[in-house]
Amino acid sequence: CQISVFKAVFYILAQMLGAVVASAIVYGVKPTNIDALGVNHLNKISVGQGFVIELLTTFQLVLCVIAVTDKRRGDVTGSAPLAIGLSVALGHLAAISFTGCGINPARSFGPAVISKHFGDHWEYWL
């Protein structure tokens, strides 16, 4: 409740637009012999399993961000960016081989738009 709905919507739209632009740039400069663009997809797991994996990895990242950036907490010491970066790394180490580890739906959206591949894309948003 520290941000208005209007501002939140524009933050989401900005992230989505940024992801699409970044993916378009990567697509434009990648070598022709490489087909991958970072599109997330399920790898030998069911849709339900993929959803649970994405839910847990996103939860652990959001929980970390909230915990280390809460100004009301006086017991947080150390580097918040380091803690968040390690949380992202942990999520990727745990989930990248199963779902591509979207964590941020906008990160999954950009490559999906450029490559026109939206298979099971709902699980990265829900």
Q: For residue 45, what are the domain limits?
A: 5-125
pLDDT band at 45 (very low <50, low <70, confident <90, very high): very high
Q: Which residues contact 87 (CB under 8 A, 6 or more apart)?
A: 60, 61, 64, 65
If one counts the domains in the chain, the total is: 1
pLDDT in tens, 67-116: 888 878 777 778 889 999 999 999 999 999 999 888 888 888 998 898 88
Alpha helices in 70-121 (DSSP H): 80-99, 105-115
DSSP state of 70: -
CATH number for the domain harbouring residue 87: 1.20.1080.10
88 in Cβ contact with 61 (< 8 Å)? yes
Alpha helices in 30-79 (DSSP H): 47-69
Q: Which of 44, 38, 14 is nearest to 101 (CA)?
A: 38
Confidence (pTM):
0.80
End-to-end CA distance of the chain: 20
Q: What integer pLDDT is reported at residue 1 of this predicted model?
A: 65
Residue indicated by tokens 């829900």: 126
